[in-house]
Amino acid sequence: MSLFGSSYDDEKLKNEALNAIDENPTIRGLPNINIISEKGNISIFGSVKNDKQKKEVQQAIKKKYHDNNIDYESIEIELKSE
């Protein structure tokens, strides 16, 4: 742990976000989603079919983190609707 704040397992944050998407049948297999985690700040970018899918991705990831008591700094959604 850092003297200047919490440390985050960025690889775990990324993998759990990907798992959250894969576990949700309505958004599983979306081909154009990329996830980066740096110092607990998660960025999700790419494209989805519509705003509903965009919202479902965000909700799935937040729920996964909440249910598994995973700490993070922020989630930035940069998904574009086609």
CATH code for the domain in which residue 26 is found: 3.30.70
Residue range of the domain that includes 56: 10-81
Number of folded domains that form the chain:
1
Q: What integer pLDDT is reported at residue 6 of this predicted model?
A: 64
Which residues, including other chains, have CB under 8 Å from residue 42's CB and lie 6 or more apart?
13, 14, 17, 35, 36, 61, 72, 74, 75, 76
Which ranges of the chain would DSSP assign to H, the alpha helix? 10-23, 51-67
- pLDDT tens-digit series, residues 39-82: 999 999 999 999 999 999 999 999 999 999 999 999 999 999 88
Residue among 31, 36, 76 at smallest CA distance from 58: 76
Q: What is the pTM of this model?
A: 0.86
C-alpha–C-alpha distance, residues 1 and 3, integer Å: 7
Q: Tell me whether residue 2 is in a domain.
A: no
